[in-house]
């Protein structure tokens, strides 16, 4: 047997392979570093739950906007200067009430309206949440800290290829007279996914 049969080829580290790919892009004028920096800017500064909180606060204080939001969520958020990817053709906003609670999930992967409510939390991407919330919604919500009364109806909405969902939480009664800025401060990503209700509701 040849002595060369015993020599294993060296395998480049992840860092070396990443550097080689970036160098190949750079050589073709594609500038991956700029793309990565821009993507980080979007995820850290623009794809944040504060966007959705602004939408909720506006709906709580402007009845006409709320009607437009419930009729066509995508068009309504654009009014506020927010954007959605082209493939997010529909944004369906689900209004919670004292007797109805909506929850969203994505049973196939972990899709959300990320430019509006932010990137999905780790638990949202977990197979256990994605599979169980559809079949055992009340139990899953209780395990996550939301113990709903038996008389409250729960509806679970599963994201599709072109439709994204967002929950419009119930406005706490004690916030009467608050500004939109103050209202936006109390809205959480969890309440817009539907695994939490805001204090006072």
Positions marked active-site: 106, 109-111
Q: How many helices (H) and strands (E) would you count in the chain?
A: 11, 4
d(CA 86, CA 55): 20
49, two tokens: 């739950």
Q: What is the DSSP string of 6-54?
A: GPPPP---HHHHHHHHHHHHHHTT--HHHHHHHHHHIIIIISSHHHHHH
162 CB contacts (<8 Å, ≥6 apart)? Answer: 87, 88, 89, 90
């Amino acid at each position: 047997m040849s002595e060369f049969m015993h020599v294993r080829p060296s395998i480049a580290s992840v860092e070396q392979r990443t550097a080689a790919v970036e160098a190949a892009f750079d050589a073709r004028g594609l500038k991956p570093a700029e793309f990565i920096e821009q993507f980080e800017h979007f995820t850290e500064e623009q794809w944040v739950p504060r966007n959705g909180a602004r939408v909720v606060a506006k709906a709580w204080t402007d009845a006409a906007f709320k009607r437009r939001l419930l009729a066509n969520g995508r068009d309504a958020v654009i009014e506020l200067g927010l954007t959605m990817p082209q493939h997010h053709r529909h944004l369906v906003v689900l209004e919670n009430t004292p007797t109805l609670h909506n929850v969203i999930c994505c049973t196939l992967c972990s899709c959300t309206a990320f430019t509006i409510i932010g990137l999905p939390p780790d638990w949202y991407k977990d197979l256990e949440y994605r599979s169980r919330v559809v079949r055992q919604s009340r139990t899953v919500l209780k395990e996550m800290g939301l113990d709903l009364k038996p008389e409250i109806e729960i509806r679970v909405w599963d994201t599709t290829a072109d439709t994204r969902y967002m929950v419009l939480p119930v406005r706490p009664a004690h916030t009467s007279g608050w500004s939109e800025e103050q209202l936006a401060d109390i809205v959480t990503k969890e309440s817009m996914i539907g695994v939490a209700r805001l204090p006072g509701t």
